[in-house]
Structure 1
């Protein structure tokens, strides 16, 4: 109930924005567009470019924060970055668009200094993902079809099925129509319709959707809905439905111009396909479509393996990362320090644990050559000393030591700063056989979490962990050599920046594993890429 309430609140914040002005909304190309000069400060306030406290009040923003907000908006919409309002910026604000925030509110709920760091050099933000559904077999129900547009209900259903098919083709998700009890209810409504976000008639807000775990999607039935129209008149139902279903599945807006989740309405596009950014975004939540793993026996062997795999796939998908210096010397003590856990944070920082300390990667800043370490407890109060493993899903970090697991969340939905200890228990690794010890962990999505480690004195085992119930999946224990062929048994750290790849650290080297093709590249030197400084310099 609490989670559902949070989702409703998040949707209300998203959808109430759409009542600002019709010129703000994801509106259609109806021949002549409305040319409404929106209030630029209100625009920045309501679409997430200013800190949250400006959203709930009418106080004038600080000039420095306003200038920063203009820069972030200009970068987001791919226009010249000036930091002030000009004709190009005003024109961009007047474009037809969706009513949801362009920027995660948690990004803006920080100090100006933190925001500048996050958007340093104003690099693209790309896809934004929230938490998704806890199941992959989703159901939908059409409560009512359009009554104002001459589209038969059978065609509306066909367009809905096509829109869902875009997302199911790139994920393990399936969608099935039901007559009651659906995960995603779909309806065509007008004006005030009971969710606190009334539609405003033609040329205004086209549609809105609840994020998981609600999913309800509404279309404004005062719009001129069309299908496959090449005249530019009306609103293409398929494109809008696919965009809104992206929200219903957990995606926010992207700043990639050709992405379906870009804020502005794309118009009719023949043979439309999801962009790579859309695919990366949805797979960051649910993973890729099911693939056949290499054939293997259904049960573990009774004799534990005593040797490493004798063969390693030779096909590589990526070139060797450039190494700009000579091979590192092991005479430097910092190059021999052992680290025991690593994860990528929500803001893109790669963080690594070593005993009591937490480090940015590389440990030595390549520009300043300054040491990046700090006490881990500064970010994670009461964190266990010398954790065995760590993994991260959007909004939550899990720390493991022996059979104990701690769960941390962001404080006040901030991307940076101290975290809040939400749970600390000795029973969350239920399902691990006695004698097992986790040495590394990685989350590809919130539904796909792997634990790596030892059983007895033998390394080289992997388990699947179910976040929904805090248990190791029954029967999931397997050999690393079978589940991830080509990866050494002694995995000490693992992390993923994309569900299609896991980076493993083992025996002072690191390896790239392609989860789709099962290709392995490596080994690569650990110290130049992860430590830097006198150890050398290389890109991960």
Structure 2
């Protein structure tokens, strides 16, 4: 079925729609129309709200519906009011935790699923780069922020067809708090033919984090739609000041440390793979492995002593405690209770080997340093594999090993150690590299 969509912003506003605009975005309340006193009072209230709207957009405050005012009203925009109305959201609401989960409950047919994912991920990254916030994508509705493109929805804020209101969002909180709704009557795009999902998502997610509208036309939180190329979308100083007022500045990255300063001098400096199995950290090197319990007792032996079926060099390993299974990678072979090809698990044919793997049980995800794997659905997540630098800036292209310890993910590359933040899974990484 073809949807009648139109991105034209030249919609004629009659007196009724002008009143609706001021009611929706500036809390205009004309009351019941009882002449003659009430009509005079209503006219005064109307003029006051027009001036308030003109002041917000930096227009000349005439109190009349002059051409400049009408043109601003005709522009496509966000459905959240421009005035600070926290009647339902007192005390400048914000998320209590710095790790925030999100999910996309319904996708638009206008774009490929992976393009929707990428646009949302890029929009979230704008805010996480400026704050200590980290965002985790879930595949179910038990997320803090639910994004969707509903055909119809019962939140008492209906959309108005093509043009006009493009989307709206709710402030942080329970229930619908933080949720984002995009008008499916619009044409959504990652390019130029339609409305940029990246632009609108970045704006609406600002509301989801607790921000109101900005008067600065260069700000992401400016209420009216502004199209730019995706490469040019970035937070303005006003956006940064607003979000850091709520959540503070981003965490500083820890300095690089040399592994030899932390370990026994006789301990090997380079490893092929590392994983945590029950209470023991297993370090694999060539055909030998080293076991240590909480870093204070080392034992060394041949791999076949612990893993009789493995005789080759191990590239990566990870353990899923809930399943009681450890997975071992050697070349294109992945082994647990049985050996099999990595391609049976959904890896792209471009993948020749797995360099490192770490399982994050809280989210049912395994990070492979070739991609991210959904253990529940047994498939690679949309948008993977992608470049390591997209999630961990400063990390080299090649990673030797990774493991999770006490809620943190540790990552190794050669002799050097570095601890960073992961954008998607919000865990800390300790990385060793040459």
- State TM-score, norm by structure 1: 0.41
- State TM-score, norm by structure 2: 0.50
Task: Specify the structure having the higher radius of gyration (Cα).
Answer: 2
